[in-house]
Amino acid sequence: MKKLNKLNLKNKFLLNGVLPLKAPLTSEIIAGLILAAVGIPEVMGYAKIAGMPVITGLYTILLPIAVFAIFCSSRHLIVGADSATAAILSGTLVSIAAIGSPNYVALASTVALLCAVFLILARVFRLGFIADFMSRTVLIGFLSGVGIQVAVSQLSNMLGISGEGGLNTIPQLINVFTHLFHINIPTLILSIIVVAIIVGTRRISHKIPGALIAVVGTTMASFLFDLQGTGISILGHIPSGLPTFGIPPVDISILPNLMIAVVTCFIVILSQSTATARIFTIRYSESTDEDKDIFALGLANGIAGLTGTFVVNGSPTKTEIVDDAGSRTQMSSLVTAAAVFIVLLFLTKSMSFLPSATLAVIVFIIGINMIDIAHLKDIRRKVKSEYFLAIITAATVVVMGVLWGILLSIILSIILHLSHSYRPTNSIFAKDKRGEWAFEPVKVGKSTEKGLLIYRFNRDLYFANSDRLKEEVLKLVGAADPPLKLFVLNTAGFSRVDYTSAEMFKDLYRELKSRNVKFALTSMLPDLKDQFDHLGLTNLIGEENIYENIHEALSAYESGKY
């Protein structure tokens, strides 16, 4: 029985992508250690962006990364702290509690727990599609704005001047320019050296952990040469040991104030994690269970909330790092967690000598990397109107803060969705230049044949765009020469109708009848046909005027039925 249990456990781990199959164990260990080397200073920076104690950044790649690795289906996706969700936290929680205070930490952990609840509910009710409602264009603009805000917020620490202006970008810039003559030269030199190390090593190879080299090097220099005596500030005491379990002590009455942060983090976690997982699934021609991954993300955030840290999500950069290092399973995540375990037990005292400027530079570079110039240029070249939406979103984050940027990004995403559904590019069935039947864009005055127009509305039909269908049809009917005998609506472009749309069809039927034009339908899905029956539209139009496909309707007209 024991042997059978061990076999079942092994099969479970193989299924979840934890144990190596074809990938050598050595590759997984090396990839995990590389991720730890790159990820440890990175998550410390994310903790600073989130307004959390530095140690909580390490907590995000201890238990959360291990829990996700065990319960997920993806062999590649790596979870941990992320710049976007970290910025969302600081931008929303700062109005409720003082950054870094025990109350603030409790609120951040509560956000992680609530995100866990949302993610698990999303798994149960299969709500993963919600992530698709965050427009990529607006998200790029939002993250670029956050990147600018994050980068600017670190300038004071990089220059060794007193920081004022809170989290507001414009006041921070003003503070920097008004204190240029108070720059601490040793801090500035240290910042330049750290920038050179990180950027230089990255240009040589992304596998070289430049941030870790900078952290270890400047920490040793701080300890050996007393850099604090030259005016360079250091992190100071960092608690050692493992995180403790517990429910964050938060007043229930304050939970509604956290909902903006929770909902936004939930959407970002879903969209970024699923998109990253899909990329690697396609790359390796594998199959994954997105619902299982969403559930695993919920568990990871739940354990994050219970261990006093903040939200975690699928990280494109961490996932790319371990993939580039040769990892093909989640074993690398468990190796990373083991490395962080050792750091928490034995190395946090040494980390207390880390210069604040080193961490500021790491965060600054993270912010710069978030400004997605390449994609902004691509959007501008392809869809200029969406480019301006991205720029407006970025500017809102920079000028008014992350909270307003979040609200605007959600509103603009909804507006983009509605504008696409409200203004569909509809079609007319006609012969093309080669004399073959095909759907072509609507052109006033064009018909399918003399006296016949077959028209398709290419979006879901609902209250907001139903009158648009009616107006376009009547415009086409009025411009037809010779006058139409039959108008055929191809319904393949929509699958449901609401009450407003049903009433519109009745009005359209009566208007066409007054013009001596017959109204017919084609290509109806079974569910749509049932709706038409229930709403009385089938009886109004006539069962004999509903055709299975376009060519059947065309043949009926050519046979002289109308």
pLDDT value of position 12:
47
pLDDT digits (tens, 9 = 90+) for 152-174: 989 999 999 987 655 678 888 99
More confident residue, 366 or 68: 68
In angstroms, the CA 6 to CA 425 distance is 59
Q: pLDDT tens for residues 377-435? A: 999 998 888 898 889 989 998 998 877 887 787 787 778 777 777 677 899 999 888 88
pLDDT at 6: 47
Task: Enter the tokens of residue 32.
Answer: 């995990």
The pLDDT score that the predictor gives to residue 456 is 95
Report the C-alpha gap between 489 and 520 in whole angstroms.
6
What is the arithmetic mean of pLDDT over 246-259? 92
pLDDT tens profile 308-361: 999 999 988 888 888 888 888 999 999 999 999 999 999 998 989 999 999 999
Q: What is the DSSP annotation of 275-321? A: HHHHHHHHHTT----HHHHHHHHHHHHHHHHHTT----EE-HHHHHH
Alpha-carbon distance of 229 to 156, in angstroms, equals 19
Query: What residues are paired with 428 via a beta bridge?
Result: 440, 455
For residues 500-518, give the mean pLDDT: 95
77 has a pLDDT exceeding 90 = yes
- Distance between CA 64 and CA 58 in Å, rounded? 10
Label residue 34 by pLDDT band (50, 70, 90): confident
Percent of the chain with pLDDT over 70: 94
Q: Report, as an integer, the average pLDDT of 92-110.
A: 94
pLDDT at 368 > cutoff 70: yes
Residue 313: which of 81, 52, 75, 36 has the closest Cα? Answer: 81
Would you say 375 and 142 are in contact if contact means Cβ atoms under 8 Å apart? Answer: no
| Per-chain mean pLDDT for the chain | 88
Q: Above 70 in pLDDT, residue 132?
A: no
Residue 425 Ramachandran class (φ > 0 left, ψ -120 to 50 alpha, else beta): beta
Which helix H or strand E contains 342, and what residues bound it? helix 331-346
Q: Is the pLDDT of residue 192 over 90?
A: yes
pLDDT of residue 277: 86
What one-character DSSP code corresponds to residue 242? Answer: P
CA 343 and chain centroid, separation? 31
Residue 502: pLDDT over 90: yes
Whether the pLDDT of residue 5 is over 70: the answer is: no
Region 474-488 average pLDDT:
94
Out of 3.40.50.920, 3.30.750.24, 3.30.450.20, 1.20.120.1690, select the CATH number for domain 427-558.
Answer: 3.30.750.24
Q: CA 67 → CA 79, 331, 352, 441, distances in Å?
A: 10, 12, 28, 52
Omega cis (within 30) before 424: no
Task: State yes or no: pLDDT of 133 exceeds 70.
Answer: no
Residue 554 burial (CB count, 10 A) = 20
Q: Which two tokens stand for residue 382?
A: 């392809």
pLDDT band, residue 449 (cuts 50/70/90): very high
DSSP 62: T
- pTM for this prediction: 0.74
Give domain limits for the chain.
2-417, 427-558
Helix (H) or strand (E) holding 440: strand 437-441
No. of helices (H) and no. of strands (E), the chain: 25, 8
For the record, the structure tokens of 263 come out as 């909902």
Q: Which phi and psi angles does 310 have, rounded to 5°?
A: -115, -175
Higher pLDDT, 66 or 22: 66
Query: What was the pLDDT predicted at 131?
Result: 65
CA distance 495 to 533: 14
Q: What pLDDT score does 237 carry?
A: 86
Q: Are 491 and 525 in contact (CB under 8 A)?
A: yes
Q: In this predicted model, which residue has the larger pLDDT, 130 or 528?
A: 528
Contact call for residues 430 and 438 (beta carbons, < 8 A): yes
CB atoms within 10 A of CB 432: 10
Q: Residue 18 — very low, low, confident or very high, per pLDDT cuts 50/70/90?
A: low
